[in-house]
Amino acid sequence: MTTKKKLFIEQFFQQAMISLVSAIMVFLANTALAYDCNCSEDCSQLKGGFYIGASAGYEALRIHEVYDLVFPNNLATFQHTGDHFGHGGAASLFLGYGTYLSCFYLGGEVIGTRSWTKDRSFVDQVGFPSRIILDDKRKIERSYGICFLPGYKILDNLLVYGRVGYSRGQIKYVHEIGASILPDEPILIKTKFKDNKSGVIFGLGAEFALCRDLSLRIDYIHSHYGTIHPADNTKVRLSTDQLLIGLVYHFGCLGF
């Protein structure tokens, strides 16, 4: 698949995620307006206090790579700049505290995420008299973060909020490369890279009260981890986009 096609697919997924988030937020707003709580008036109101929750959903992994390789004895050279994308799933656990100042909301949250998203790129380049094979695999297996959540309560049972914070992700990268003079087959040399990389988080979300202590949440979360150097003369920039839906339990006795 060409880089242009991959970019088109990635842009399509990003636009689809934004459209889906917007559609769900409109749905939550309409549901909140029509919501009827039979137990008591208090049941359908969002409250501050401590909470715990879990969420799961879709994750996209984006990698921007720059190679500038020169093999021993000038056997071959390889320059490449490109974008690669992986798609999969992610699940998160989170614990936080929030409070309301009239309709304004201020919250803080710690979050841990397990990811099942991987990406692989394979290059087999023949340029007489040499041949180059490049095989890369990458993934961000798990991450944790601390976030600040400012928001606004549109209705008693509907909150919209932003998210900004710090993330620490475990990055795994397997780099295999080899070169040879034709017609010999290249001998691949494998390099394994594993490191914890700091990044930034930002996103948008909405929360809808289902009953007194339970609410439904949807989040769009972008995490950017900057640049790593998994091998000589190789630069890789990684980021993820997540669309997660989850449930939140509020410890009502501590809320106010």
Q: What is the pLDDT of residue 48?
A: 87
Q: Could you give the CA distance from residue 86 to residue 119 in angstroms, rounded to a whole number?
A: 5
Contact 151, 95 (CB under 8 A): no
Low-confidence residues of the chain: pLDDT under 70: 1-44, 68-80, 122, 124-130, 132-134, 175, 177-190, 231-232, 252-256
Q: What is the pLDDT of residue 179?
A: 63
Q: Could you give the CA distance from residue 89 to residue 75 in angstroms, rounded to a whole number?
A: 41
Contact 56, 92 (CB under 8 A): yes
CA atoms within a 13 Å half-sphere pointing along the CA-CB vector of 181? 4
Q: What is the pLDDT of residue 46?
A: 83
Domain residues of the chain, as ranges? 3-69+81-122+139-174+199-254
DSSP characters over 86-127: EEEEEEEEEEEEEEEETTEEEEEEEEEEEE--EEEEEEEEEE
Q: Could you give the CA distance from residue 16 to residue 214 in angstroms, rounded to a whole number?
A: 28
- What number of other Cβ atoms are within 10 A of residue 230's Cβ? 20
Q: What is the pLDDT of residue 35?
A: 47
Fold of 3-69+81-122+139-174+199-254: Porin (2.40.160)
Q: What is the pLDDT of residue 245?
A: 92
Q: What is the pLDDT of residue 222?
A: 94
In tens, the pLDDT along 53-87 reads 999 999 998 888 777 666 655 555 666 677 878 88
User: Tokens 């998203």 — which residue?
Assistant: 117
